[in-house]
Structure 1
Amino acid sequence: MNMFSKTFSTLLLLFMYFQVSAQTFKVNGLITDQNKKALDYASVSLIRLPDSVSMGLQSTNKDGVYEFSTVKPGKYLIKALMIGYQKNRSATFEINKENFLVPAISLADQSTNLKEVNIVSKTPVIDQKADRTIVNVEQMNTAGDNALEVISRAPGIKLDKDENIIMKGKSGVNVMIDGKLSYMSGAELTTYLKSLPGSVLSKIELISNPPASFDAAGTGGFINIKLKRNKMEGTNGNANLGGGYGKYEKIYGGVNLNHNAGKLSSYVRLNAGHYNSFNRLTLNRTIGNETFNQVNFWHPITNSLNYSAGADYFINERHTIGLMFKGYTSPVKTNVDSNSPNYNAQGIKQGEVNMVNPQDNGSDNHALNFNYRFKIDTTGKELGFDADYVNYTNDRVSSFTNTYLDGNGNLTSPPVQLRDNGMGDVSIYALKLDYTHPFTKNLKLEAGLKSSWVKSLSDVQFDSLKTVGWINDPRRTNLFSYNENINAGYVSLNQSFKTFDFKIGARIEQTRGNGFSSGSNTSIKRNYWKLFPNVSALYKINKDHQLAASYRKSINRPSYSSLNPFAFYSDPYTALQGNPLLQPSYADNFEVNYNLKNFRVLTVSYSTVNGSQSNVIYQNDASKESISRPENLNKETNLYFATGSPFDVVKWWNNNTELSASYNKITSPVQGSGYNVSKWSWGVSSDNTFTLPKNYSLTLYGYYEAPSVSGLYRNLENYAVSVGAKKSFWKKNATLSVRLNDVFATGKFRANLAYNNINTYWQNEWENRKISVNLSYKFGNMKIKTARSRKTGTGEEENRVGG
């Protein structure tokens, strides 16, 4: 921490120097309507002349007064605007030796009442920007969808066999919520996104190669989920209530409240749901000359509660503090049944194992963020500080009853009974400091520091029922602890020209970790530094044509649970085991985008991953057990092409079709034998909205994914079709939506595994086909309030909880 402390002190001294090095003055004034009545929340901009650069943006207070307090000598003017009024400006004035009072500026009423204006423009579903793709979820029919299902419909996104997110053919995707990292991955992230209704999402940002201010983690890029929150004046919000049915029932609802008045902007979100669902895993395994047909059926009943609250207090135009709190609780009762018959080469049944496994699982997450923004002066110098605390806990109580039968269905031995009691706890602390320094209008420096500390603990106790009672099973009992500290610093330089923008940066990260597993008496120790450069460029060929390119080096650290050498058995023949020798993987990511107006003509993405992490199955032909453990593969190559953007076929028909092609290659020794597989694949998705009279609309969505390879899995084709309808009423404040998802029940993951002595067909099915109805309603004051210009804290951290 010595380097961190010294650099931190140097930056603070530098900031203080910038603050006091130039003499500044105050500029204030009054905004009124044409009747000389003060206008509150009018938007006011200070414009520097002769280059017409905005030096600050704020809103008037309840008395119509505004003030810019750190204005350097020079020539300026004031621009003022407010919805419902005609914009106006002041005369030019000069600041040299004293504060300046701008003569009152009056805004005339617009001749047409805003309520009578028929707004026909609409936000596109997909908006392609230079550095990211934005999905405007509020323009979609998401009735009955959870957040994970909505994300899976975004361009370039698909889910693997465990419902982990794959973006443009790459795993290792980091997920953020409102610009804050979710601190989750794997099963934890999937559970959370499934508990979040799609109706509360506002936007999804897909960021393949983020700048140096983002963490270097995430070989697949970042996804930022923006939840609904508006900036209307006063108190307002929206509520939703929905339900659905597939094989079982679901019901969910929530409310989003916002209060914006004076210097305070706050919100509260609550969402609760009851989800009765299922998951069926089919494994057909060939072991020697025998065939094992295993079917595991999970029946989870989840009652979840998501909650978040936040407030920003604008002390003045230079200082803003914010506080955010969020969390979720998700108790799940699950009944698991497993049936595993085996047959000889002649197809004669040899035996069968049945398992019954009732489970009580609970997951809780609490996250707290404090952030502070300091606008050093009106030239754009800004200092930001974030402090984060996140805690994850989970507990599990379950029992196993394994029954062994012969080929005729007779018991071969008394049933085997087991029970387990496990808990996990992960605490994360993070501090982050960011500084922005514009040298000129077109040249800007960004720099920052970050440190994070993680404490992870997992405790699993397994007992077997013997004739003398319950006896601890040491083979399945384990206490695992892991502590990690990551220190990072970054610098980034952004240069803009008339038709060309260029950004170059670098991030350096130090990782220090240590852990211990009692069950295997294994220790883990990590200490390494790594440099992560990145560069991006944007060339505006003309007003219609735009070309963007980017490069980023990234890291994918192992999730905390994947380092745990303990083997957890989900059934008598199948287990998951961590790997304390698992190392981080490193990726070089390149991407080029060509846009014509707002249409994405072509995206080309190329990446190479060294040491990519993949689950490798170890099969014991004698005991018939299969243990899956993560290992580092040698090299993985991904090449991805895509084209397509939303467009209006006719005035009432909007089509968003994406056509993609990909090439994936894995080259690596696996269990001592060479493994080399590659394959071209393609996919297409089409989302259609038909706008009908009287505020009705219909939606038709479908996708097809051709066979592909992912890690060691050879995926088979996958496709589905969904339909829906919407109706707006009550002056468009209410919307009723209905949706039939996966009409033909074809959306399932299917794959083959074939290497060494492994020969398995894998099929994973979810409750995809379901019908859902959702009612949403907007209420409260809808008068626009102009928010003060500010930058939300990001507090990024490795989302490696779960796995």
Structure 2
Amino acid sequence: MRLFLMIVACCCCVLGAFAQGKPGSVSGHIIDAGNKAPVPYATVVVADKSSGKTVNGAVADDKGNFSVHGLNPGLFTVSVEFIGYNKKVIDSIKITNNNTAINLGTIAILSSAKALNEVVVTSKAPVVESKVDRVVYNAANDLTSQGGVALDVLRKVPQVTVDVDGNVELQGNSNIRFLINGKPSSMFGNNLADALAAIPASQIQSIEAITSPGAKYDAQGTGGIINIVLKENRLQGMNGSINLAAGTRLENAAINLNLRHNNFGVNLFFNGNAQLSSSTPNSQDRSSFADNKLASRLWQSGTNDLTRRSYATGLGFDWSPSKKDNFSAGVSFNHFSSQLEGTSFIRQWTSGSLDTTFTSRPNSSRNWLDAADWNLGYKRKFNKPGQELDFLYSASFGSPHARYYQLQYANDDAMPFGGTQGYNPGTDHQHNLSLDYTQPVSKSFTLEAGVKAIFHDMQNSAQVNAYDKITDSYRPDPTQSYDFNYRMNIYAGYLSASFNLFRFLDVVAGARYEYTSVAMDYPGGTVPSYGNFVPSVIFSHKFNDDNMLKLAYTHRLERPDRELNPFLNLSDPYNITTGNPLLKPEIGDNFELGYSKSFKGGGNIYIALMERINSNDIKPYTAFYPTYTIGDSVYTNVSVTSRVNIGTEYNSGLIITSSVPLTKNLNLRENLQVFNRHVVNQLDGGNRTDGVNWRLNMNASYQLPKNLVAEVFGEFRSAFNNIQGRQPQNLSYTIALRKQFWNKKAALGITATNPFSQYISQVTTIKTATYSSYMLREIPYRSFGINFSYKFGKLQFKKEKESDNNYLNNLPSF
């Protein structure tokens, strides 16, 4: 750590030598050559004359005036462009130490011969973009995910993997911080897979997988950050879209409406979806051992029917009363629920006994959540380009609920002999206040600083009823009922610097300090307050505009919160799941060495070596108990699964992602990840687990005549060893076609997923010194669907105003 601080200090000293120049400027006034009227919001680009590389730029104001700053002495060309006008190029603009301010006076640009009354603009960003700290997947043209949900889009994102149960990993780590439009939401708190299944794919503009978050970002999430950016149109006028999808497993609908007039804009949306009921056959064969001899055996089989429902609506606006001030606000409401119902048939026997017990167990479990999010932001820009002050307040109010019941019948008895009902309602409040300031010191040196406060309050109560055979009714069980309250406040500050070192390395270095105060209302659940110093640094070098090499280090945390709730789910009394109030934060140290290259045809490739070291590593852990007491009840031959701090995990990997246009019409994308996972399990006496696993997905799209596009997507994830057994492999594929019509305003698509096999077989094994378990699930994954989308509205480009006058910063940032 001291070495890191010394490096940052030395870098800050050196950068002073590069910040002593006198930046020059180019200004002017743009008019229409015909009517001499000002041309507002025209784009001005200043490029180096010898290399042609863009140096800086600006957007003219509403009177046609512009000024481009931050130019070192040299020879430049100035280009002026605007829709409906011919491009104007002014050559050989010379800036010297004695002549730093160049005024080009009035620049007249000619109107093109073709008038633009109503236009349709097609602007297709690269599907995959590699940036210094993240990879961006632009989902707008994703065919095989059309009609699907966020989980389907996430499967396409480079360096991300999603299993059939909706568990997400980023570079092999599942402890990920999820954001919506750059902001946290309590909708991710109750059940992550349910939350991601509640967001229609048609609502997603892009997904950012931030593998090397800088000091500006919260330290939460040892795996990194995934930011889901929802669609928003900033063009003038009224426009929107309608998306409808129906299928054998999933149905959804989404409506977007955008209204923008001059400097005020409103965005509204509504969406809903339903995953239709599907039956999952399952079985388990489990044995326990004592003194290396078989002690008991349990076999159960049955089916579970899963359904999901969700809807969401929201409203957002932004207003720029001046070029330097911008206000934004938004509010949204989300509801989603999932229900699992089934019946299991059980046989069990013990060593030395000739009797076999036959029982059956109908069971049901349901999770649902209502969540409201809101935010209010203000951005202030100053005269110096890039100098900004940002304030953001965001809040989320969620009400998660979980409920289960199960009854147990012996043989064919009409009356049950036992059963349990459990209900776990709760609230989840989050408030976030942040203030960020950016100060460009010179063209090659920028400072960022900020403070943030997070207030997180969770309350849960467990209401458990036990079945009474005598009265044939449920009665409250006070020994299993409880209240669990958890409050976590985080106070953070950071400082970050971006600069060029020795005219060779671009450096982004920073440090963040977070102080966490925790209060828990639960017996034995005292958690002391703690502080964490969180450094991060990225070294990168661009060989040219198409090649970049980077080395990144980030220090991250994983604070347990919802996993602390000790609620016991007894829907399967032989396989109990629960939370762990004694969990400690997981600490992650992440290293990444990567090389990216872009090709002129639009393709790109990224190759990286990564190492992730997690201490206090949080993993699911299963323990077997011959007898297990819960309140006044005693359960026999029970496995209990909870998340625990297992020890230390070393995850080493190779990542290769690419997007290659093989021909004008054929594009191929691939995402390969190979990991070696080494875990030191301190709970089991330092046992070590090693295993190599790999994941590969490929996507091929082909442009056919008459606006018809075909696409195929397939993915494979190998089986791998975990700390107690082996996780299953997974193979799936999707075929899609889309036809555009009505001047490309409408599209009709069809999709088919695993059309030739109804189920995906998932075999999970657990093996310890005292028991072994073999579990098989047949997950229904085959589906067929049809979807329709329609875009409407008039786009008035002549009144369009960019939100940022600095041309190089015009790309959206979340």
**Interval of TM-score (by shorter of Structure 1 and Structure 2):** 0.7 to 0.9
Maintained 8 Å contact 1:161/1:749: no
Residue aligned with 1:562, SS? helix
Match of 2:728 among 716, 730, 742: 716
Report how far residue 337 of structure 1 moved.
3.0
Question: Is the Cα–Cα contact under 8 Å of residues 319 and 372 in structure 1 kept in the other structure?
Answer: yes
What is the CA–CA distance in structure 1 between the aligned matches of 2:768 and 2:663, rounded to whole Å? 51
User: Given the alignment of the two structures, is residue 235 of structure 1 paired with residue 252 of structure 2, yes or no?
Assistant: no
The answer on whether the counterparts of 2:169 and 2:176 sit within 8 Å (CA) in structure 1 is yes
**Residue 543 of structure 1, CA deviation:** 4.7
- Aligned-pair CA distance for 1:43: 4.2
CA-to-partner distance for each residue in 1:767-789, whole Å, 9 max, x for gaps?
42111111111110234434211
Mapped partners of 1:226, 1:347: distance in 2: 60
| Cα distance in 2 for residues equivalent to 1:590 and 1:745 | 41
Name the amino acid aligned to 2:112: Q
- State the 1:707 CA deviation: 2.2
> Match of 1:661?
674
- The answer to whether the Cα contact below 8 Å between 2:365 and 2:571 also exists between their aligned partners in 1 is no
Residue 631 of structure 2: aligned partner? none
8 Å contact 2:446–2:499 — kept in the other structure? yes
Report the TM-score, using the length of structure 2 for normalisation.
0.84
Decide whether the 8 Å contact of 2:613 with 2:651 is kept in 1. yes
Say which is worse superposed, 289-298 or 312-321, in terms of deviation: 289-298
- Measure the CA separation in 1 of the matches of 2:811 and 2:566: 36
Moved more, 594-603 or 84-93: 84-93
Matching residue within 744, 749, 754 for 1:742: 754
Aligned partners of 2:513 and 2:532 also within 8 Å: yes
Could you tell me which residue of structure 2 aligns to residue 154 of structure 1? Answer: 157
Per-residue CA deviations over 1:7-41 (Å, capped at 9, x if unaligned) read xxxxxxxxxxxxxxxxxx9x995643633345455
Aligned-partner residue type, residue 803 of structure 2: R
Q: Which runs of 5+ in 2 are unaligned?
A: 1-24, 628-635
Q: How many residues align?
A: 758
> Residue type matched to 1:285 in 2?
R
Structure 2 partner of 1:327: 333
Residue 225 of structure 1 is matched in structure 2 by 228
The answer as to 2:518 corresponding to 1:489 is no
- Residue aligning to 2:587: 586
Give the counterpart letter for 2:81 in structure 1: L
Deviation at 1:87, TM superposition (A): 3.8
Contact kept? 1:373, 1:382, Cα under 8 Å: yes
Is the CA contact 1:486–1:510 (under 8 Å) kept in the aligned structure 2?
yes
Cα separation, 2, equivalents of 1:566 and 1:716: 27
Give 1:550's aligned amino acid: A
Aligned to 2:478: 474
1:131 maps to what in 2? 133
Counterparts of 2:441 and 2:610 in 1: how far apart (Å)?
A: 33
Map Cα deviations across residues 643-687 of structure 1 (whole Å, 9 max, x no partner). 2311122222211123332101111133x4442110122232211
Partner in structure 2 of residue 610 of structure 1: 615
SS in 2 for 1:199: helix
Alpha-carbon distance in structure 2 between the residues aligned to 1:119 and 1:308: 26
SS of the counterpart of 1:645?
strand
Verify: 1:778 aligned to 2:791, yes or no.
yes
> Structure 2: how far apart are the matches of 1:658 and 1:426?
36
User: Displacement of 1:429 after TM fit?
Assistant: 0.9
Matches within 5 A, 1:313-462: 313-332=319-338, 334-342=340-348, 350-358=356-364, 361-403=367-409, 405=410, 409-411=411-413, 414-462=416-464
Once the two structures are superposed, residues 703-737 of structure 1 have per-residue CA deviations (whole angstroms, 9 ceiling, x without a partner) of 22222234544223221222111111111111111
| Deviation of 1:299 (Å) | 2.6
User: For structure 1, which segment, 278-287 or 774-783, has the greater mean C-alpha deviation from structure 2 after superposition?
Assistant: 278-287
Task: Report the counterpart of residue 662 of structure 2 in structure 1.
Answer: 649
Q: How far did residue 462 of structure 1 move?
A: 1.2
Percent sequence identity over aligned pairs:
24
2:804 equivalent among 786, 789, 792: 789
Displacement of 1:370 in angstroms is 0.7
Q: Distance in 2 between matches of 1:212 and 1:628?
A: 35
Q: CA deviation at 1:263?
A: 1.1
1:238-288 CA-to-partner distances (Å, cap 9, x unmatched) read 110011104xxx321111111222111221111112322346354332224
Cα separation, 1, equivalents of 2:47 and 2:323: 16
What is the rounded CA distance, in whole Å, between the counterparts of 2:35 and 2:70 in structure 1? 30
Q: Report the Cα offset of residue 610 of structure 1.
A: 0.5
Task: Quote the Cα distance in structure 2 between the aligned partners of 1:229 and 1:674.
Answer: 51
Amino acid in the other structure paired with 2:576: A
Number of the residue aligned with 2:209: 206
Gaps of 5+ in 1: 1-24, 797-803
Q: State the superposition RMSD in angstroms.
A: 3.9
Q: Distance in 2 between matches of 1:656 and 1:678?
A: 30
State how 1:3-22 maps to structure 2 within 5 Å.
none
Other-structure match for 2:578: 577
* SS of structure 2 residue aligned to 1:392: strand
Question: Deviations along 1:433-463, whole A, 9 cap, x unmatched?
Answer: 1011111000011111001111100112112
Which letter does structure 2 place at the counterpart of 1:215? D
Other-structure match for 2:169: 166
Q: Please say if 1:733 is aligned against 2:738.
A: no
State whether residues 270 and 307 of structure 1, in contact with CA within 8 Å, keep that contact through their aligned partners in structure 2.
Answer: yes
Counterpart amino acid of residue 584 in structure 2: Q
Which string of whole-angstrom CA distances, capped at 9 and with x for unpartnered residues, describes residues 165-223 of structure 1? Answer: 11111121112222223345565322121011112212111111111101111111111
Distance 1:758 1:491, change over 3 A: farther
Tell me the residue number matched to 2:284: 283
State how far apart, in whole Å, the 1-side matches of 2:377 and 2:736 are.
41
Distance (whole Å) between structure 2 residues aligned to residue 271 and residue 362 of structure 1: 17
Matched position secondary structure for 1:633 = strand
- Say which SS state the counterpart of residue 140 (structure 2) adopts: helix
Report the 3-state secondary structure (helix = DSSP H, G, I; strand = E; otherwise coil) of the residue aligned with 2:744.
coil
Q: Contact between 1:341 and 1:349, CA under 8 Å: does it hold in 2?
A: no
Residue 626 of structure 1 corresponds to 639
Displacement of 1:625 in angstroms is: 1.4
Kept in 1: contact 2:42–2:64 (CA 8 A): no
Q: Kindly tell me: are residues 313 and 392 of structure 1, through their superposed partners in 2, closer, same or farther at Cα, counting changes over 3 Å?
A: same
Structure 1 residues 149 and 343 mapped into 2: Cα distance closer, same or farther (>3 Å)? farther
The whole-number CA distance in structure 2 between the counterparts of 1:180 and 1:792 is 21
Matched residue type, 1:392: G
Please, what TM-score do these two structures have when normalized by structure 1? 0.85
Shift of 1:601: 4.8
